[in-house]
Structure 1
Amino acid sequence: MAKRDRDTDGPVTIKKYANRRLYNTATSSYVTLDHLAEMVQDDVHFVVYDAKTNEDITRSVLAQIIFEAEGKGQNVLPVNFLRQLISFYGDSLQGILPSYLEMSMEAFAKNREQMKEQFGGAIETPMKQFEDVTRRNMEMFQKAMTLWNPFVHGGNTPDQAPPAEETTQEGDNIGQLKGQLDEMQRQLDRLMKGRN
């Protein structure tokens, strides 16, 4: 499928009917979830509306695409990630998580093609490093949220400052994480320069 210019064409409208069929109004044809998955991969922006109520159901249709892909063995979402994601529903940080995940995915997507070109078949080692950094980022994010929000388990109330020893240790941990991120960025820069 050809890519569409989002700014000039706008999103493609997909209608979902009671019989669960999906109708692409731009091509005047019925489509499947696989077609919609291809549209996502081709960067074609679309919205899905319930044909009867005109309710925007894009989120649930995208989730269904992910569910079916995971069911076919195309596993992208680790079990622990899914557990953590589920644990955020109803949590006080639920409102912050979507923007955090969106920023993380955008950063990863920007680097995806460059990583494929640079590392070719030897992607496992850098991916392990990215997994480690991502895990540390989530831990740091959770610690930061705990410090900022007194209602989160283990957080301090505004009149209750963390012990000096704990603050120093967390500062050291953050400093170490920043150092590791900087070192990883330097390694990536050297790898990219070496390939050019």
Structure 2
Amino acid sequence: MADAQGAGGKDDRVVIKKYANRRLYNTASSSYVTLEHLSDMVKQGVDFVVYDAKTNEDITRTVLTQIIFEEESREGQNLLPIQFLRQLIGFYGNSMQAFLPSYLELSLATFAEQQERMRTQLSALGHHSAYDETIRQNLAMFDRAMKMFSPFNFVRPDEPAAKPAEPAAPAADDALSDLKKKMDEMQAQIAKLASKS
């Protein structure tokens, strides 16, 4: 169906059709695929778009969310912390909702770029423990950054209870400045570790 190909706007994207029986059809390979196949395609960097076969509606976001749900359901595959999921849900309808998607995209892109750079440098030198420590630090920094935008007061079970939140919340500009500062600190830490190697 040519209209579905054109709707994607990019000729290099693989078009997947989802039928009423929930079957997914890869139009490039002319074969039925599963969510696991689509997950593998994402990991291989294959760009695809999913259309509802009946309405021709773009349902890529829904299918990608289903893939995440499937991955999170597997034993030992939990990537998203419970508190992160709670915070994410809290942003729906929140005044910061429009800002969050671009923030998450930028954060994850930066994180992936830095990890790839570190992996390349440390693999060449055979240092895996420093790489693991960098990942731990980056995840902790990402967690702290997410808390800056939390729509509700969060206390970890192992932390003492905080005082009630002040009525005045920091402005979005202050939060952006703090985030930029944290990201600069993270990049400085990675550069420092790389120079020691």
What's the TM-score, normalizing by structure 1? Answer: 0.71
The Cα offsets for residues 91-126 of structure 1, whole Å up to 9 and x where unpaired, read as: 121111111111111111212222223455313322
CA distance in 1, matches of 2:189, 2:83: 28
Compared with structure 1, are the counterparts of its residues 141 and 106 closer, same or farther at alpha carbon in structure 2 (3 Å cutoff)? same
Q: Which residue of 1 aligns with 2:109?
A: 106
Question: Are 1:47 and 2:54 matched, yes or no?
Answer: no
Structure 1: which amino acid aligns with 2:44? D
**Contact 2:138-2:186 at 8 Å conserved across structures:** no
**Structure 1: gaps of 5 or more residues:** 1-6, 144-152, 157-161, 163-169
Question: 1:23-73: CA deviations, max 9, x gaps?
Answer: 011111111111101111111110000101111110010000010011013
Q: Which residue does the alignment assign to 2:136?
A: 128
SS of 1:23's partner is: strand
Separation (CA, whole Å) in 2 of partners of 1:63 and 1:190: 37
Asked if structure 1 preserves the Cα contact closer than 8 Å seen for 2:51 and 2:60, the reply is yes
C-alpha root-mean-square deviation of aligned residues, in Å? 3.2
- Rg: which structure is higher? 1
Structure with the bigger RCO (C-alpha within 8 Å, sep 6+) is 2
Count of paired positions: 166
Higher alpha-carbon deviation: 130-139 or 12-21: 130-139
Q: Which residue of 1 aligns with 2:96?
A: 93
Task: Note the C-alpha offset of 1:155.
Answer: 3.6
Alignment of 1:1-196 (within 5 A): 9-73=11-75, 74-119=77-122, 120-122=127-129, 123-141=131-149, 154-155=167-168, 178=181, 184-195=186-197
Letter of the structure 1 residue corresponding to residue 58 of structure 2: D
For structure 2, which runs of at least 5 residues remain unmatched after alignment? 1-8, 152-165
1:34 and 1:88 map into 2 onto residues whose CA distance is 29
Contact residue 87 and residue 150 of structure 2 kept, 8 A: no
* Inter-partner Cα distance in structure 2 for 1:58 and 1:185: 33
Task: With the length of structure 2 as denominator, give the TM-score of the two structures.
Answer: 0.71
Q: Percent identity?
A: 54
CA distance 1:67–1:97, change in 2 (3 Å): same
Letter in 1 for 2:72: E
